[in-house]
Amino acid sequence: MNTLIDYDWTVMAPELTIVVMAAFLSVIDLFLHPNKDRRLFMWPTLIGIVGAMCFVGMSWGKPAYQILADTYRVDDFALAFKMIMLIGTAFITVMSYGAFRKEKGFAEGEYYYLLLTALLGGMVMASSGDLITLFVGLELLSISTYILVGIRKRSVMTNEAAWKNVVLGGVASGFILYGMSFLYGLTGSTNLFTVRDRLGEALTSGYDLYAWLALFLIVFGFGFKVAAAPFHMWVPDVYQGAPTPITAFLAAISKTAAIALILRMFLIGFIPLFQGGRGTVLDEKTGGRVLLILAGLSMIVGTVIALRQQDAKRLLSYSSIAQAGVILVPLASWGPFLFPSTLYYLTGYLFSTVGAFSVLMLIERESRDSHLSSFAGLSRRSPFTALAMTLFLLSLAGIPVTAGFFGKFYILANAVVTGSPEHWAMYLIAGIMLVTTVASYFYYFAIIRMMYFRASQVEEKLRIPVGAMIVISVAAVATLGLGLMPQLVVDILGNVDWGASLAPVK
The mark string for 291-330 relative to other proteins (x by CB under 8 A, - otherwise) is ------------------xxx--x----------------
* Residue 65 binds other proteins (CB under 8 A): no
Measured from the CB atom, the residue of 55 and 72 that comes closer to other proteins is 72
Measured from the CB atom, the residue of 144 and 379 that comes closer to other proteins is 144
Please give the Cα distance from 252 to 303 (Å, whole number).
Answer: 18
Measured from the CB atom, the residue of 162 and 399 that comes closer to other proteins is 162
Q: Which of residues 31-50 bind other proteins (CB under 8 A)?
A: none
Neighbours of 284 (CB within 10 A): 15
Contact 279, 287 (CB under 8 A): no
Min. distance of Cβ 320 from other proteins in angstroms? 15
Tell me the residue ranges of DSSP E strands in 171-271: none
Measured from the CB atom, the residue of 138 and 327 that comes closer to other proteins is 138
Please give the Cα distance from 317 to 396 (Å, whole number).
Answer: 12
In the chain, the N- to C-terminal Cα span, in Å, equals 15
Min. distance of Cβ 143 from other proteins in angstroms? 6
**Residue whose C-alpha is closest to residue 248's, from 471, 463, 408, 82:** 471
Contact 244, 157 (CB under 8 A): no
The interaxial angle of helices 108-126 and 255-264, nearest 10 deg, is 20
The mark string for 122-141 relative to other proteins (x by CB under 8 A, - otherwise) is ---------xx--xx--x--
Cα distances (Å, whole numbers) of residue 463 to 98, 260, 407: 11, 38, 33
Contact 447, 376 (CB under 8 A): no
Min. distance of Cβ 348 from other proteins in angstroms? 27
Half-sphere exposure for 294 (CA within 13 Å, toward CB): 28
Is residue 16 classed exposed, middle or buried when 0-12, 13-18 and 19+ CB atoms within 10 A define those classes? middle
Measured from the CB atom, the residue of 155 and 484 that comes closer to other proteins is 155
Measured from the CB atom, the residue of 36 and 154 that comes closer to other proteins is 154
- Maximum CA extent, the chain: 73
Q: Which of residues 196-255 bind other proteins (CB under 8 A)?
A: 198, 202, 207, 236-237, 240-241
Q: Which of residues 157-186 bind other proteins (CB under 8 A)?
A: 157, 159-164, 166-167, 170-171, 173-175, 177-178, 180-182, 184-186
Q: Which of residues 409-438 bind other proteins (CB under 8 A)?
A: none
Min. distance of Cβ 156 from other proteins in angstroms? 5
Site residues (vs other proteins, CB under 8 A): 131-132, 135-136, 139, 142-143, 146-147, 150, 153-157, 159-164, 166-167, 170-171, 173-175, 177-178, 180-182, 184-190, 198, 202, 207, 236-237, 240-241, 309-311, 314
